[in-house]
Each structure stands twice: as structure tokens, then as C-alpha cells.
Amino acid sequence: MEPLEQLRAVRERLVSSGSVVAPDGRARKIFPVAIGPHEGAVLRDLVIEERALRTFETGLGFGVSTLFICEGLLLNGPGGSHVAMDPFQVKPASAAGRTYASVGLRTLEEARVLSLVEFHEQESQIVLPRLLEQGRTFDLAFIDGSHRFEAVFLDLVYAARLVPEGGIVFVDDAQLLAVQRSVEFCVRNLGWVKEGRGRESDAHEWSVLRAGPPKLLERPFTEFVDFRNLG
């Protein structure tokens, strides 16, 4: 089976069944943790439209969004690569004991796209500064890691340095106030443009943004636009 056919077959099975069997033999529900097929198609189409070859994603989870991104990369031709980061993919969180039991990585391996993915089992707030230090740049970013304000805020601020002006930053879970506030900061202070938004369910709304000019990252420290009021 060709790579694209294998990827699509695996993804369609996951979406239709809504569950996956973990290494411990237990079935795990994919939704609403994972994005749905409509949001995934929008994400994939943006990868294609932007002719993106270098992408990154905060959060891997069950790997559904990664499959959509990788589909776009494959359709864009050779040389595509994707960076994903998720501190809970293998080892559990110390407090909640939450883990994805490597399900996302196994999904990518089954779909034969694991070779496209550079995976980091660390928080994005640790990985993104490292990528910046390495001089890496990306054509498109998908933000879907921790949804606490401070985490989303940092993900977007680093995305502003890793994605060039005009690059796409796709933000999931835009229905959450913490995500809205973080996005609004970038729009009002960093010159980002809201290009689109969508909704698949109460659990998943998204915003599509274009990164602003890098010079605004070096604006005078006295310049600040309040982002608390969203009206």
C-alpha cells in the first residue's frame, strides 16, 4: 500500500471507530481529545495551500492531527518534516497519572509516517526555545498542547519567533478564555492577523492566524496594548 493510502486508511479507521487499543490492551476513546475530521481537513488543506514543508505541533496525543499534517506534507512533495512535542506520550504526569501510553507514536508508525516526525517527549515551553536556539524556522505551527494561559501564551510567543511573517499559526480550542486571551495579545501587540476561524463541536473551535512582522518583537517596552477586553 502506498504511504498516502496507508495513512488515510489508519486515520479513517480511528475516526470511524472513535477509539484505539493501547499497549495495555485497554480501549481508549479518541474524542473529544483529538480534533475531528472537519478541523483536520482544514488543517491539512492549509498545509497544502501554504506549500509548507516544515511544521511543528505542540501536543501529539493520539496522533490524529499529526496524520492530517503529515498528509499535507506528503502531498507537498519530498523533503517535508514535522516536529511534535508531548510530555505525556510515554511517561505519565506525576499528579494526574495521565499518559497516552505511546498510542500516538504507534499510530504514526502504523501509518508509515513516523520517519517524517521529530518527536520530543518534553513540554513545548522547553522544546520551542531549543528549536529557536538551533536557528530552526517553520512554515506552519499547530498549537494544541496545554491549555493553561501561561502555556498557550508562551507557545504563541515562541511561534512568533519560529514562524516568519505571514506564516500560519493554527490554534485549537479557541473557545477557551485562556486561548482567546493569548491570541488577542498576539493580534493587538504583535501585529498578527486573524485569517479565519471554525467550529466542529463544543469541544473544538479554532482560529487561523498569520504571524506579524518580527520587528514588533523588538518594540519599545513602553508600548503595550491591553488585551483583556475582547469586544
The confidence band for 179, taking pLDDT boundaries of 50, 70 and 90, is very high
Q: Is the pLDDT of residue 99 over 80?
A: no
Backbone angles phi, psi at 199, to 5 degrees: -150, 130
The CATH architecture that domain 3-218 belongs to is: 3-Layer(aba) Sandwich (3.40)
Q: What confidence tier does 1 reach under pLDDT thresholds 50, 70, 90?
A: low
3-class secondary-structure state, position 191 = coil
**Nearest alpha-carbon partner for 137 in 166, 110, 111, 114:** 166
pLDDT at residue 198 in the model: 96
Q: What is the CA radius of gyration of the chain?
A: 17
Instruction: Tell me what pLDDT residue 95 has.
Output: 42
Alpha carbon distance 169, 192 (integer Å): 9
Mean pLDDT computed over 59-67: 93
CA atoms of 95 and 99, how far apart (whole Å) = 11
User: What is the spatial distance between Cα 115 and Cα 106, in angstroms, rounded to a whole number?
Assistant: 12
Tally of CB atoms within 10 A around 142: 27
Indicate the average pLDDT of the chain.
92
Arithmetic mean of pLDDT, 31-54: 95
Angle at CA 187, nearest 5°, toward 185 and 188?
65
pLDDT, tens digit, for every residue of 188-222? 999 999 999 999 988 889 999 999 999 999 999 99
Is residue 4 classed exposed, middle or buried when 0-12, 13-18 and 19+ CB atoms within 10 A define those classes?
middle
The residue with greater pLDDT, 94 or 185, is 185
Contact 85, 123 (CB under 8 A): yes
Question: 33 or 164: whose pLDDT is higher?
Answer: 164
Residue 96 has pLDDT above 50, yes or no: no
pLDDT at residue number 98: 59
Q: Where are the alpha helices (DSSP H) in the chain?
A: 3-17, 37-49, 64-75, 103-110, 124-133, 149-162, 177-190
pLDDT in the model for residue 152: 97
Question: Please, which pLDDT band fits residue 94 given cuts at 50, 70 and 90?
Answer: very low
What is the grid cell recorded at 146?
Answer: 496545554
Q: Hey, where are the domains in the chain?
A: 3-218
Q: Is the Cβ–Cβ distance between 22 and 28 less than 8 Å?
A: yes
Percentages (nearest 5) of helix, strand, coil residues in the chain: 40, 20, 40
Higher pLDDT, 73 or 97: 73
